[in-house]
């Protein structure tokens, strides 16, 4: 499938799913698109076996979609830039310390807890997974998806602003932490690379530090050019050029493209809110990227459903995946609770009290999305059964956690 065919297919399917949801289902958009696209994948797969001459070409066209490349190399940069652009930078600045913890140390703790719990259970259920592969699974599934989280919050009318800032802020930054963990674990497990502590620190500085620095540089270059632009069209084109060129160049420099896009979006969005640009330019830029965010969000969740065609999911994968949903939630809850409990005991100040309700909401709001599937598919040696389990966990996370998050906020939020 070429890019024109892929784009046309995604537009048609997203429009169809949107119409069905608006008229009949009336579910949160992310959940509706995922459900409908899964049903389409099941129908196309089933009917293609009965009518290979008629449905076969459609099946092979959908199956030829490169989910990993489309998500990681094409869509992710634009989605993160748009999310950063619309993020409330003032609120994020207040919560930057816990956000940075969750996106770094929290991901590491969650990775190892998930990996060791899965390894223990794999022994009980006689699953052929090594400890290294279980830890890689932990790195793949630990990052929350900012796009899925934001999509869920859009369906909720009232929620604590701090909760949204913490969960979405973490989702924006933890991609880089998870990808770095994945690179390190993959090199150790599959390529027998001996990494030292200094080597890991060097990777961290280059990936994260370089991503932050490059994001700041391109953001201020773009801001200068936008301020000089005399028409909203030119100003908007500048943001497109920065978001696409910045992501690609970050990859060439071996910086984190995810962090680069988030930082660039936050800075440009913050300057726009401070009326640094012409009001007409700001209005058009915001409207354009809000539309792009909505369209790409729709594409992403349609792709998540269609990815089912390319993944061999059997009864064992479903059972193991359902067990892993519980494992992943427990690991995330512990990675939040323990540090929160320690900090609240060390600093007995107003607002520093430990809250199980808050930690549970943070854990339940950590929805997984397309990034985890793309990362699982990006590892050539990764067992097919673990890819299938990853897919089941992501689907359950979107449908169960995303579908009940509004109810959880009503019950647990103060």
**Paired tokens of 358:** 């808050």
What DSSP line would sit under 96-155, residue for residue? HHHHHHHHTHHHHHHHHHHHHHHHHHHHHTT----HHHHHHHHHHHSS--HHHHHHHHTT
Residue 242 makes CB contacts below 8 A (sequence gap 6+) with 81, 218, 219, 221, 222, 264, 268
Q: CB neighbours (10 Å) of residue 238? A: 21
Q: φ, ψ for residue 194 (rounded to 5)?
A: -90, 110
pTM of the model: 0.92
Tens of pLDDT, residue by residue, the chain (414 residues): 677 888 888 899 999 999 999 999 888 888 999 999 999 999 888 887 777 766 667 777 778 888 999 999 999 999 999 999 999 888 898 888 888 888 888 999 999 999 999 999 988 878 889 999 999 999 999 989 877 777 777 777 778 888 889 899 998 898 888 888 899 999 999 988 887 878 888 888 899 999 999 999 999 999 999 999 999 999 999 999 999 999 999 999 999 999 999 999 999 999 998 888 999 999 999 999 999 999 999 999 999 999 999 898 989 899 999 999 999 999 999 998 877 776 666 655 444 566 788 889 999 999 999 999 999 999 989 999 999 999 999 999 999 998 899 888 888 876
CA 60 to chain CA centroid, nearest Å: 27
Report pLDDT for 356: 83
For residues 135 and 335, what is the distance between their CA atoms, to the nearest angstrom?
15
Q: Which of 76, 70, 87 is nearest to 246 (CA)?
A: 76
Dihedral-angle region of residue 391 (phi above 0 means left; psi in -120 to 50 means alpha; beta otherwise): alpha
For residues 78 and 243, what is the distance between their CA atoms, to the nearest angstrom?
6
Report pLDDT for 54: 62
- The alpha helices in 205-278, defined as continuous H runs, are 210-228, 232-252, 257-273
Cα-Cα end-to-end distance for the chain: 50
Q: How far are the Cα atoms of 40, 73, 125, 197, 361 from residue 109, in angstroms, in the given order?
A: 37, 27, 24, 17, 18
Report pLDDT for 78: 95
- Each domain of the chain, given as residue ranges in start order, spans 3-63, 67-412
Length of the chain measured in residues: 414
Q: Is 104:256 a contact under the CB 8 Å cutoff?
A: no
The CATH number that domain 67-412 falls under is: 1.20.1530.20
Q: Is 58:74 a contact under the CB 8 Å cutoff?
A: no
């Amino acid at each position: 499938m070429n890019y024109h065919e892929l784009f046309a297919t995604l537009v048609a399917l997203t429009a169809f799913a949107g119409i069905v949801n608006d008229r009949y289902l009336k579910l949160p958009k992310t959940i509706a698109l995922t459900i409908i696209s899964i049903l389409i994948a099941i129908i196309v797969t089933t009917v293609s076996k009965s009518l290979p001459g008629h449905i076969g070409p459609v099946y092979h066209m959908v199956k030829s979609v490169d989910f990993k490349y489309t998500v990681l190399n094409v869509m992710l940069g634009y989605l993160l830039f748009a999310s950063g652009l619309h993020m409330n930078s003032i609120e994020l600045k207040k919560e930057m310390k816990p956000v940075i913890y969750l996106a770094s140390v929290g991901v590491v703790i969650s990775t190892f807890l998930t990996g060791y719990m899965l390894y223990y259970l794999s022994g009980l259920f006689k699953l052929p997974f090594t400890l290294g592969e279980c830890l890689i699974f932990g790195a793949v599934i630990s990052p929350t998806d900012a796009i899925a989280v934001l999509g869920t919050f859009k369906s909720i009318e009232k929620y604590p602003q701090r909760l949204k800032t913490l969960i979405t802020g973490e989702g924006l930054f933890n991609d880089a932490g998870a990808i770095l963990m994945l690179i390190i674990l993959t090199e150790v497990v599959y390529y027998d690379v001996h990494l030292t502590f200094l080597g890991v620190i060097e990777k961290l500085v280059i990936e994260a530090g370089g991503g932050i620095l490059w994001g700041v540089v391109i953001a201020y270059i773009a801001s200068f050019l936008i301020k000089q632009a005399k028409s909203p069209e030119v100003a908007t084109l500048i943001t497109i050029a920065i978001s696409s060129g910045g992501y690609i160049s970050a990859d060439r420099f071996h910086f984190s493209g995810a962090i680069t896009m988030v930082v660039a979006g936050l800075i440009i969005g913050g300057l726009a809110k401070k009326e640094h640009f012409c009001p007409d330019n700001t209005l058009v830029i915001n409207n354009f990227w809000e539309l792009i965010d909505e369209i790409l969000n729709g594409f992403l969740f349609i792709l998540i459903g269609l990815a089912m065609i390319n993944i061999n999911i059997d009864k064992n994968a479903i059972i193991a995946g359902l067990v892993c949903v519980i494992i992943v939630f427990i690991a995330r809850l512990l990675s939040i609770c323990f540090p929160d409990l320690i900090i609240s005991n060390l600093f007995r100040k107003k607002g520093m009290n430990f809250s199980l309700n808050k930690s549970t909401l943070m854990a339940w709001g950590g929805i997984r999305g397309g990034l985890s599937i793309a990362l699982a598919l990006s590892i050539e040696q990764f067992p097919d059964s673990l890819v299938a389990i990853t897919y089941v966990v992501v689907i359950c996370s979107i449908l169960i956690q995303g579908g009940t998050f509004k109810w959880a906020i009503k019950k647990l939020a103060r």
